[in-house]
Amino acid sequence: MERRKIGSLEVSVVGIGCNNFGWRIDAAGTAAVVDAALAAGINFFDTADIYGAGQSEEYLGRALKGRSGQVVIATKFGMRAGEGNQGARPEYVKRALEASLGRLGVDVIDLYQIHQPDPATPIADTLGALDQAVKAGKVREIGCSNFSAAQLREAENASAGKARFVSVQNQYSLLHREPEQEVLSECARLHQSFLPFFPLLNGLLSGKYRLNSTFPDQSRGKDGFGPKVFTEENLVKAQELAEFAVANGHTLLELAFSWLLMRPEISSVIAGAKNPEQVKANAAAANWKLDGAAMAAVDRIVGTS
């Protein structure tokens, strides 16, 4: 599988989002997904301390025991992880990092990311704590998530002499184009990698949903993600995109992954998986090289041109 850079790290262009671990699948299911990912050439695993109330990190660490040197592990801190466990104050950064290292069972985290901005803490203070973690050899690279272009600029300006963010992880997909307004161009200017989460828009772009059909059991549509995502407008667009993909010998899933990877700012497309079959499908979905005509056709369907 093709690999791209996140700072000094080299990652597969398809990554595994680990939010299902400890929530939708248990330790055995996690191990099966991890094994399938490694077999498919995926080396990038992205988790967070809040996923599965900490069990995502724990199960991922167990599944990768003895193999952490073969992979790139990313995790996040900052969202509420229990009483008093939230934010980006320096003292909390240190505490959250030690907790994640323990659950993952590793000595160093490859990419440590602040999960969301903390308006109560100056970003310079957070970067100072993260810089200390890098210098101590506990973190290789640092990144952020859910940051605006202005917040990226502020962090860059505050990072003089310290470790700097090498990546930003925000929502981006065929049907959620907000990063195109400012964030992607800011990533290009700052030489930061962009990591899209929800590339399949909670499964809407997986190809398993159809207009006026019932949601599959144990799907995000079935589990209450529908009101904001599975609207009639989005379902119509998804169906038109699927028809376009099929007419070109591909699937909607392949279009969703490959379209994102046409952006040079994107290093890896992070998608969750509940079983080895989904892993294999995701891994195989990133090989369509869309030309200018195909990209323009997609924009016409989505309504951006």
Which distant-in-sequence residues (6+ apart) come within 8 Å of 239 by Cβ?
210, 211
b/e string for 114-148 if b means 16 or more Cβ within 10 A?
bbbbbeebebebbbbbbbbbbeeebbbbbbbbbbb
Max CA pair span of the chain: 56
Q: Cβ distance 47 to 19 under 8 Å?
A: yes
Question: Is the CA virtual torsion 154, 140, 21, 5 positive or negative?
Answer: positive
Which distant-in-sequence residues (6+ apart) come within 8 Å of 173 by Cβ?
196, 198, 199, 200, 201, 205, 256, 260
Report the SS3 class of residue 263: coil
147 vs 154: CA distance, rounded Å: 10
The full DSSP string for 46-64 is E--TTGGGGHHHHHHHHHT
Give the ranges where 166-223 is alpha helix by DSSP (H): 183-190
Question: Is the CA virtual torsion 165, 67, 49, 273 positive or negative?
Answer: positive
| CA 210 to mean position of chain CA atoms | 25
39 vs 279: CA distance, rounded Å: 10
Of 27, 24, 109, residue with least CA distance to 75: 109
Whether 172 is catalytic: no
Annotated active-site residue in 51, 92, 172, 209: 51
User: Could you list the active site residues?
Assistant: 51
